[in-house]
A and B are shown apart, each in its own frame.
Chain A
Amino acid sequence: MISRGEAWFDEAAGPLVRPYAVTRGRTRANRYPLDLITLVVAVHPEVHAAVVEQEYARILRACAFPQSVAEVAARVDLPLGVVKVLISDLIERRYLIFRASPSPAARPDLVTMQKVLDGIRKL
């Protein structure tokens, strides 16, 4: 990755290289249909956090309650792409469960939209 006589150190390299070091270079998370608002929640967060690497543990603790993938990424302060890979690992190990967002084609139905409308009015 660092070649042609150019070396990146510290902050110069950090934003690009370091986050993906925690995924061991893996940049794709195609195993599960995760998007920004996919909800994830940890199964026994404290139990499993004790036995996994630090980055995984932070994610598990952040997922003690259902959270969107975007919220998890923000709370553990890692880029979205990185968090999706790590979340996929945790789903695979059954430490996390997720609920996929509705398919892109399907907008929420009118009943749901009416609930959203009523909810906003009550804010």
Chain B
Amino acid sequence: MGYGSSDDLDPTGRTGAGQATPAPRRRGRGARSGTDTDGAGLALDAVAIKVLVAGGFGVGKTTLVGSVSEIVPLRTEELLTELGAGVDDVTGVDGKTTTTVAMDFGRITINPRLILYMFGTPGQDRFWFMWDELARGALGAIVLADTRRLSACFPAVDFFERRRIPFVVGVNCFDGEQPYSPQEVRQALSLDGDVPLSMCDARYRESNKRLLITLVEHVMATVRRADAAATGLRPSGG
């Protein structure tokens, strides 16, 4: 059985969401004789890598993920009690309400042995504990900022700085509307000098590709610098 039914494909009923977005060009669909064989040809020993897409609620995280993903973004959910006692603890929760934390994610199959997952982080601050699992092993993060509500991305910037997770900032220009210069936004976020910041439009695939490229280049540069610093400590043997 494949994933032929819309039920299986999109349990959240959000099938149409991606189609409403301008620009996205879906890759990989239809090219394989009409059968939806997501994951076919993938090796189990494939390396899976994840990047996070963070930012305030409604800033365009899922739009970004959807525009570069080869699949319509999927939604995975976790349950927690209102007191945030942890998803593992559903005993003794009498009287407390439960909340569902949702994360939307997409996938880019680089080749049968290399898959990139993009996870949108839950927008609300009180779901921090979810970020721990999300961030574990992440290659890096894209922080989407909206200058009309710049403070909404402060927690994400703080989180990645504290965890030393490499990140780039994309200033989402809704309808090309952007009254601030990159330098002004950089100052407002008090970003370290080496953190890339660029203007973007989360609705457009090319713009999001550029952000992803900037992120991977930034991570590579960070790793190279760290390697150079480490080898610099030893007598160089060539």
Contacts and interface: CB of A to CB of B under 8 A. Distances in A.
Contacts of A120: 68, 108, 110, 116, 209, 212-213, 216
B46 interface: yes
Nearest to B166: A107
Contact of A1 (B75, B91, B134): B91
Q: How large is the interface on A (under 10, 10 to 19, 20 to 34, 35 or more residues)?
A: 35 or more
A107 B68 contact: no
Contacts of B108: 119-120, 123
A31 to B, nearest CB: 14
B43 to A, nearest CB: 7
A108 to B, nearest CB: 6
A65 B111 contact: no
A108 B74 contact: no
A95 to B, nearest CB: 14
Interface in A1-40: 1-4, 6, 15-17, 19-20, 25, 27-28, 35-39
A66 B137 contact: no
Interface string B55-75: 000000000000010000011
Contact of B137 (A65, A77, A102): A102
B49 A112 contact: yes
Interface in B59-97: 68, 74-79, 87-95
A27 B90 contact: yes
Contacts of B12: 77
Interface core residue of B48, B87, B88, B116 (most chain A CB under 10 Å): B48
Contacts of B44: 39, 41, 66, 97, 99
A37 B117 contact: yes
A19 B186 CA distance: 44
A6 B116 CA distance: 45
Contacts, number: 175
A6 B91 CA distance: 15
B50 A37 contact: yes
A113 interface: yes
Interface stretch (B32-40, B148-156, B168-176, B192-200): B32-40
B219 interface: yes
A1 B90 contact: yes
B98 A67 contact: no
Nearest to A13: B98
B79 A15 contact: yes
Interface of A: 1-4, 6, 15-17, 19-20, 25, 27-28, 35-39, 41, 45-46, 61-62, 64-68, 70-71, 73-77, 79-81, 97, 99, 101-104, 107-108, 110, 112-121, 123
30 contacts: A16-B79, A16-B90, A17-B90, A27-B87, A27-B89, A39-B48, A62-B3, A65-B42, A67-B39, A68-B48, A68-B115, A70-B74, A71-B38, A71-B39, A71-B76, A74-B75, A74-B76, A75-B11, A75-B74, A81-B79, A99-B44, A110-B220, A112-B47, A112-B114, A113-B139, A113-B223, A115-B110, A118-B110, A119-B116, A120-B209
Given A39-B46, A81-B87, A115-B114, 6 more contacts: A15-B98, A66-B46, A67-B38, A102-B47, A117-B220, A123-B108
Listed from nearest, the 3 A-B pairs whose CB atoms lie closest are A65-B39, A119-B110, A77-B11
